[in-house]
Every structure is written in C-alpha cells, then in structure tokens.
Amino acid sequence: MRAGFAKSLDHDLDVLRRGANDAALSATLQQLLASGGDHRLKLDPMTLLNGYGCRPFPRPEAFTFASSTATSISDRAFARTRLARLDLLRAAKPHGVSDALNKRIEQMRYLLKAQLRLDAGIDVVFSPSGTDTQLHALFVAKSILGARCTSVVAAADETGSGTAFVSEGRHFADVTAQGAAVTKGDHVSGFGGMPGRIPVCLRDERGVLRDQGAVDLDIVQSIASVIAEGGRVLLHAMDHSKCGFRSPSLECLQEVTARWPESVLVLMDACQMRLARPRLGSYLNSGFLVAITGSKFFTGPPFSGALLMPGRLSQLLIGVQIAPGLCDYMNQSDWPMRLWNIRTQLPDRHNLGQWLRWEAALEEMRAYFAVPEAPRRDMLDRFAGFVRSRISGSRCLRLLPARSEPVSELDSEFPPETIFPFTLHRHESELTRDDCARVYRLLNEDVSDRLSDTALPRQRAIAARPCHIGQPVTLRQANGSETGALRVSAGARIVSDNWSPDEDCRQRNFASELKQISTVFDKIELLIADENIWAEHAPIL
C-alpha cells in the first residue's frame, strides 16, 4: 500500500511539475535542498557528502550525533519536504508560484511561533543561515541605534567563522545565498564606515576557560567605552557556543539593559537552539533580538536561519530605508507581510532551498514537542549521563571541563548539557587540530580496509560504520600551539526517534541509541590506536 501511495505521488508530481512555469521547481528534491546556501552545501561527487559531512537526503546507515554542526535530513523530514513541494505545485496552478509560496511562508511563521510558544506579536524574519540572520540583526540595530553602532561580540572564540565579518557589516563569503557575486571582507553596500567589532573571548591566551565574572566585566567595560565616545552598541550574546557555553551571564545582561536602555540592543545568538521555550520567551520579553536555526538541535538540514523580533522593535522599522547591499542577501518573502515597507524594497524572488529546509525543521520540531515533557527531559538526561561516563572511562579521550551555571526555572524542560567536547590523546600526547580533523573525516567513512592486518573482525565491523559527529574546534595551548576537540551532541531525534508511549518499547529503542553512541566512541578509539591509520600520513581535507 505504501509503495502504491509513493507511485501515485510521483505521478502527481510529474504532472504538476510539467505544468509549472518555474524551472527551479523542476529540479530534484535533493537539488533543491542543497540550493540557496553556500559552497558548504555542494556535494562531493565521490562521497555524496557536503562540506558538513552530511547529505540532503536520508543517510540511515550513519550513526549521527552531529547536531552541534549539521545533520543529514531524516526520512520523516524528507517525506514532509516532498509533500510540501507537491502542495506548492498544486497551489501554484491557479495562483502562481510566487503567490502560493508567499502564503505558505507566512503560514510557516505562525507554525514556528506555535511550536516555540511565542507571543503573536513576535515577528519572524527567515534567512538562509545563522550568519545571514546576524546581518539581518545588524540592519535592525543600525536602523534603530544609528550608523555609529559597534558590535561587542561575546564568546567570540566560540562563534561561527562568519561573525567576524558580518558583525562589521562585511561580506562573509564570495557568493551570497541568493547567488550574487561579492568580495569577502568588503563592506556590504550601505554599511561602509561602520566601527570595528570588539571581541570578548571565553578562554584566555593559554586556552583556559575564563571566570564568568571576568568575562562579564570585560563586556560591561567594552560597552561603557563605546557609549562614552558617543557610540551605540549591538551586543552579540551567546546561548549556546560551539562547546555549549552561555555568555554573558543573565545578571550581566540585566545590568547592561537597565544601565543603557536607549543605547544598547542585544542580539541573542541561540542558533544552537539548546534552550527551553520559557528562556527563549524571556529573551524576547526583555526586548532582545534572537537568532535561531532549525538545523542544529532540531536536526533540520543545514542552512535554515531566522531572526525573532519583538513587536515593539518592528514598529521602529516603519519607514526605514534598507541598505542597497541587502538586496543581495534578502528576499521579500523573508520578511513578514505586516512589514510591507521593507518587503517592497527587496527583490520579489524566492529561495526554494531555504523554504524546504524550514519545512523539514518544522517537521522535526513537531515530532520533538509531540513527546511529553517528562520523557523528553529523561532521555536527554540519560544520554548526557551515558556520554560523560563513556568518555571518563576512556584512556585516550578527555572531556573538556564545563562551567557550572545556576539552575533556573526557565530551563525546566531542557537539560544544561547537550554538547560534549573532548580532546584526543595518543601515546600520552594531545592530538593537534589537524589530527582531530583527520579522525573526524575517517570516522565518517568506511575505513575497514585501512586497518592493520592484526585487526579483529569486530574491529573491522566498527571501522566500516560511518559515524558523523560535530566538526573539530580549535583550542589554544600555553606554549602557543593549537590542539583540537571533537564534539558529540544530543539532537531532537534522540527523543523523537525513540519515543513510544509503551515503556518497554521506549527502553528498547533508547538502549539501541546508546549502542550507537558507544560504537562512535569505539571507532574513535580504534582510529587513534591503529598503527596503520597513522602510518598513512594522508593529507588533511
């Protein structure tokens, strides 16, 4: 019956596709899901993996704990995108593709707010990525605060690589998600002359995690110095960083907003989406802009961003003129219909890849929040306990220290730790960043035929299993050298894929999940120990 449904769906799709005037809709679903981003979405012709090590179609053979970076689309989300495109093609026949897509994207704003339990007055501005979302936020801050707006960037050493550029109004790549050729590092037209950013790092020059109070003090002093010189500040706050930290503290944010209510605007980088809905709502109620994605914790395909904006800030944008260079980054449909004055200044085009990736992310959100809160929290807590125990019992892995934070009622539905960064050690020496990158790549491949001749059949079976985890992060050492850390992380599918109202079934499902993460660590240890692997001296990709 299922095969018959699929065949019928394919027939309907073919008929509708042939009748569509929009050539982009005639592309395959995989092609559309890999479009409208940047070079990192391009597939390697040999491995069919993109720059994130995942695919725009399901990859069930891989054991995946990579939600701190990016994840291959699930069967559930892929089916949803297939139906979404079919629905769009049907709606486009009487109304046209542009009208049908505008209506669907507007509807998605309400679906996103409903899943996240956000007030109706919150505006949602869609974008291709978290970095694009930061550019949206800079436009909002510049419009409200004025041209002398300086970015103070918290956790600058654990944020995305594009933040260093976009926080100063500069192009962060050579081609935008809309396909416009630009020059990386040059100012976006209309953002020239902006002050340089002020980075505040989580770690010191030795790579040691700094005291939160010292970080907070640096942030307050940086803001005070800018304002003393007549400037204004967009504070890029962080919840969570690449290794799972928040910065600055909630107390620091409260002090800053109370002390300079008219001179500071806060952008909360919540792109990892590792926070409870009450905390997210509290940020917006405090008047913060909030950047989110559907592609980290919620495991939608990479490149789906959104800026959440309190209604009182939206009101301040009425009548503003957009910077000319933003037309290379934004489309009319990215902005809500009630902000018509901004929409009319932007190109009437659509990013079909961005739209479909958000369809996938919303499906993952729906599945995750369909699970009752208590078992959601229980599964995430159990996963965290297992990972910490497994790493602490390893002879060649070391879990990076975490910073303890006070327990808040805002976080009742979400655990404090879902990202677990760890260093790798071989012959008592910590591996370099390049060595970590090599392990990361080999982990995601079948390397069973590259092991030493003495490898056991069980070891070859482990080596054959593709395992996808978070990309390496760079750590500085006291002697000036750089080492690296890999990351495993809990994503929404740990909950949604293992949930069952039947307790016995749920326990069996979750036991299978823990076996998968155990296999990931077994393979990492195997790659570190095998002499043949290290004798190859393969180039780092």
Q: What is the pLDDT of residues 138-184, one digit of tens each?
A: 999 999 998 789 999 999 999 988 999 999 999 999 999 999 999 99
Percentage of residues of the chain with pLDDT beyond 70 = 94
Residue found under tokens 């940047």 = 38
Overall average pLDDT of the 2-12 stretch: 42
Element (H, E) at 127: strand 123-127
Residue 22 is predicted with a pLDDT of 54
Whether the bond into 537 is cis, omega within 30 of 0: no
Residue 5 is predicted with a pLDDT of 34
How far is it, in rounded angstroms, from Cα 347 to Cα 331?
5
Distances, alpha carbon 88 to alpha carbons 16, 20, 76, 81, 110, in Å = 10, 10, 19, 10, 18
Residue 265, SS3? strand
| CA neighbor of 387 nearest in space, from 483, 527, 524, 207 | 524
pLDDT digits (tens, 9 = 90+) for 272-300: 999 999 999 999 999 999 999 999 999 99
Residue 13 is predicted with a pLDDT of 46
Residue 14 has pLDDT above 60, yes or no: no
Per-residue pLDDT band for 455 (boundaries 50, 70, 90) equals very high
Distances, alpha carbon 301 to alpha carbons 57, 364, 511, in Å = 9, 10, 26
Distances, alpha carbon 11 to alpha carbons 14, 18, 27, 30, 80, in Å = 5, 11, 16, 18, 17
Comparing 49-63, 310-324, 456-470, 477-491, which segment has the lowest mean pLDDT?
A: 477-491
Q: Residue 443, Cβ neighbours under 10 Å: how many? A: 23
Cα–Cα–Cα angle for 335, 308, 223, nearest 5°? 115
pLDDT digits (tens, 9 = 90+) for 223-258: 999 999 999 999 999 999 988 899 999 999 999 999
Q: Residue 110, Cβ neighbours under 10 Å: how many? A: 12
Residue 19 is predicted with a pLDDT of 40
Residue 12 is predicted with a pLDDT of 42
- Regarding the domain delimited by 103-366, which CATH topology (the fold level of the hierarchy) does it fall under? Aspartate Aminotransferase; domain 2 (3.40.640)
Mean pLDDT for the chain overall: 91
Cα torsion 372, 59, 275, 268: sign = negative
Could you tell me which residue, 13 or 163, shows the higher pLDDT?
163
Strand 264-269 and strand 232-239: the pairing is parallel
How far is it, in rounded angstroms, from Cα 424 to Cα 436?
7
How far is it, in rounded angstroms, from Cα 284 to Cα 116?
12
Residue found under tokens 């590792």 = 274
Q: Which amino acid is at 349?
A: R
Q: What is the DSSP secondary structure assignment for residue 170, as one 8-state letter?
A: B
pLDDT digits (tens, 9 = 90+) for 107-151: 999 999 999 999 999 999 999 999 999 999 999 999 999 878 999
Q: Residue 326, Cβ neighbours under 10 Å: how many? A: 19
- Are 393 and 503 in contact by the 8 Å Cβ rule? The answer is no
- Are 414 and 275 in contact by the 8 Å Cβ rule? The answer is yes
Overall average pLDDT of the 17-26 stretch: 52
Distances, alpha carbon 519 to alpha carbons 149, 387, 404, 523, in Å = 49, 12, 29, 6
Per-residue pLDDT band for 204 (boundaries 50, 70, 90) equals confident
Could you tell me which residue, 110 or 480, shows the higher pLDDT?
110
Q: In terms of DSSP H, where are the helices of 393-453?
A: 433-443
Residue 482 is predicted with a pLDDT of 80
Residue 404 is predicted with a pLDDT of 72
Q: Which residues contact 474 (CB under 8 A, 6 or more apart)?
A: 433, 482, 483, 484
How far is it, in rounded angstroms, from Cα 214 to Cα 21?
59
pLDDT digits (tens, 9 = 90+) for 341-366: 999 999 999 999 999 999 999 999 99
In sequence order, what are the beta bridge partners of 200? 154
Overall average pLDDT of the 387-408 stretch: 89
Residue 16 is predicted with a pLDDT of 42
Rounded to two decimals, the pTM is: 0.93
Q: Sketch the domain layout of the chain as residue ranges.
A: 103-366, 371-535
- Residues comprising the chain, all counted: 541
How far is it, in rounded angstroms, from Cα 130 to Cα 159?
10
Overall average pLDDT of the 81-108 stretch: 92
